[in-house]
Amino acid sequence: MRNIRVAAAQLGPIQLEESRVRVIERMLDLVAQARAAGAGLIVFPELALTTFFPRWYREDVADFDRFYETQMPGPDTARLFTAAREAGMGLYLGYAELTPEGARYNSSVLVAPDGTVAGKYRKVHLPGHADYDETRDFQHLEKRYFTPGDLGFGVWQMLGGRLGMAICTDRRWPETYRVMGLKGVEMILMGYNTPSHNGLRPAEGPEKRQFHNRLSVQAGAYQNSTWVVAVAKAGREDGHHMIGGTLIVNPDGEIVAEARTEADELVVHDCDLDATAFGKQTMFDFARHRRIEHYGLIASQTGVEKPWGPASS
């Protein structure tokens, strides 16, 4: 048995004017709770340090520079690293990254229990749009404020297992899980900020959004025989509601723990990494069963191209 006691640290809403220092105090409280629960790993949401600022349009993206980190750890986040290290805990943290070259990414880090950065991920799939869209009830400007990640889907050896990272909308794409599955991933960590309404289709409300959240995470876990820990920033930020539903899913695709609130809340579960072996050796033994000669389109074509051509579409 290779057990990791995971603390999925859901955050309630963060308002536009809330200070980073205040948010970090909330997060330190969750680290303390996780420590008291004996957790070996704490997982925070996407863009955990700030409000979900891509819902706000600014002509000049630099107006939001205050929401980006130029160092990790930086002067404020160092306190989180220290608290996790003192607790002997690994850490996943989502944040907005501004590089010395001026590139902007929606990023996460995986921090080892000794406080060193073990891995880094930059969100590959960016949802939404780049320009102000007046047809929407609210904006989702990730394509304005971030560049698609350039690091791929890494898997790192940590805490006696193989851990991978993804961010929010990545969880809806089977390719995300499969690339890490092909690297033998045993636990995927991901944070999310999911608006409870689609700004374009009001019919898609919170229940359907929650259903799709579970469906995507459960399918990814099962089809790659891996644990998945998906952590929300939830509740109403400056009048904009986001779903909660932080969940931990086992390698059979079953939900084993789930948040009950839309506030700061710790969801703790003992995850045995050896439980990933059965699926990896049977139904999803990739080496025996995958037929890559038929998968070429997946990595060579983005949009739909009908095989019979445009004339008779």
Radius of gyration of the chain (CA): 19
237 counts as catalytic = no
Which C-beta is closer to ligand CDT: that of 153 or that of 284?
153
d(CA 230, CA 168): 8
46 counts as catalytic = yes
Closest distance between ligand CDT and the C-beta of residue 201, in Å?
Answer: 10
Catalytic option among 46, 186, 237, 265: 46
φ, ψ for residue 2, nearest 5 deg: -120, 90
d(CA 274, CA 214): 23
- CA nearest 263: which of 229, 217, 232? 232
Q: Which residues pair with 163 in a beta bridge?
A: 156, 187
Catalytic option among 69, 142, 168, 186: 168
d(CA 177, CA 164): 9
Which C-beta is closer to ligand CDT: that of 204 or that of 252?
204
- Report the sign of the C-alpha dihedral through residues 100, 101, 104, 107, in that order: negative
First-to-last alpha carbon distance for the chain, in angstroms, is 54
DSSP-based three-state secondary structure for 181: helix
Closest distance between ligand CDT and the C-beta of residue 197, in Å?
Answer: 9
Binding residues for ligand CDT (CB under 6 A): 46, 127-128, 140, 168-169, 172, 192-195
Closest distance between ligand CDT and the C-beta of residue 27, in Å?
Answer: 19
Catalytic option among 123, 186, 237, 271: 123
Closest distance between ligand CDT and the C-beta of residue 55, in Å?
Answer: 10
d(CA 191, CA 125): 13
Instruction: Mark out the alpha helices in 53-173 (DSSP H runs).
Output: 78-86, 142-145
Which C-beta is closer to ligand CDT: that of 46 or that of 186?
46
Using alpha carbons only, what angle is made at residue 60 by residues 197 and 240, rounded to the nearest 5 degrees? 20
Which C-beta is closer to ligand CDT: that of 34 or that of 167?
167
233 counts as catalytic = no
CB atoms within 10 A of CB 211: 11
Instruction: Mark out the alpha helices in the chain (DSSP H runs).
Output: 20-36, 78-86, 142-145, 174-181, 206-224, 277-281, 286-289
Q: Which residues are catalytic?
A: 46, 123, 168
